[in-house]
Amino acid sequence: MQKTILLTGGTDGIGLETAKLLAAKGQTLLLHGRSDAKLANAKEVIKQNSPEVHINTFRADLSNISEVLALASKVKDQYSSIDVLINNAGVFKVQNPITDTGYDVRFIVNAIAPYLLTTQLLPLFSANGRIINLSSAAQATVNIEALKGHQQLSDSDAYAQSKLALTMWTFQLARSLGDKAPQFIAINPASFLGSKMVKDAYGTQGKDLSIGANILVRAALDDEFSNASGKYFDNDIGNWSQPHPDALDEKKRKVLIEEIENTLDKLSIKNT
């Protein structure tokens, strides 16, 4: 069956590889990127192998909450339904980790922007829809003060905490939204895949990106992922697994979501 799939961060790394594979399988692609030039390039590259693909591009910098809201509005204006959202865009190492609104860009791009995009787009999904969130083997207890922008973290701490935050809200929405909501699935695409993120962070070439792209395509399309809401797939072991214990703790998940909502309230006020 042909699906309509919104993929964030589709201009490089695992995202671009995933977009190529989905296009080759005849899926309709809503390709997000933060740069018009990289989006045009990605579209050209994807079309070289899959000239018939339906592909629509959307530009938004996910470190800017008003751009996340504008992205959601544009998608809602153009589509009445979506089958799959892959929240793939992410950051590890950046020159200025604190945004001009005072928050850590890792928390914003890796956890808060995908939460906002997902919740804004929920009306477009049926219960068969899938929200696929790119988690990581790196997961660490969230320092709420750092999430609020009151404390600075190292690159690796901010990354691991933001990835656990994403995994925690994935599990919480899966449990709180009920049967009519789409499936919420967290996936570690495998560690040390050879993207620019891994090269910048660890100075290593990394493994074949197709390892990550293949698991995302399976998660988007295959029946094996059709009853997987609130689960974590660890592609380092090629199987379902348990995330960090905090993702299994409902009380901690609720506190985290409350803090994300508070942050969004503050950011929306600053953005108006």
By CB under 6 A, is residue 9 in contact with ligand NAP?
A: yes
Q: Which of 63, 118, 170, 183 binds ligand NAP (CB under 6 A)?
A: 63
CB of 270 to ligand NAP, least distance (A): 17
User: Residues 224 to 253: which contact ligand NAP by CB under 6 A?
Assistant: none
CB of 219 to ligand NAP, least distance (A): 13
Strands 84-87 and 130-134: parallel
Other C-beta atoms within 10 Å of 34: how many?
18
Q: Which of 136, 161, 183, 263 binds ligand NAP (CB under 6 A)?
A: 136
Backbone torsions φ then ψ of 150, nearest 5 degrees: -90, -15
Burial level of 152, CB count in 10 A (0-12/13-18/19+)? exposed
Distance in angstroms (rounded) separating the CA atoms of residues 66 and 268: 7
Interface region with ligand NAP, contact rule CB under 6 A, candidates 10-18, 69-77, 223-231, 263-271: 10-18
By CB under 6 A, is residue 118 in contact with ligand NAP?
A: no
The per-residue DSSP string of 69-127 comes to HHHHHHHHHH-S--SEEEE----S--S--B-TTSSBHHHIIIIIHHHHHHHHHGGG--T
By CB under 6 A, is residue 7 in contact with ligand NAP?
A: no
Q: Which two structure tokens, joined as six digits, stand for 18?
A: 């995933």
Q: Which of 25, 38, 252, 266 binds ligand NAP (CB under 6 A)?
A: 38
Helix, strand, coil percent content, the chain, rounded in steps of 5:
50, 15, 35
By CB under 6 A, is residue 192 in contact with ligand NAP?
A: yes
By CB under 6 A, is residue 196 in contact with ligand NAP?
A: yes
**What does the binding site for ligand NAP look like in residue numbers (CB under 6 A)?**
9, 11-15, 33-35, 38, 61-63, 88-91, 109, 134, 136, 188-189, 191-193, 195-198
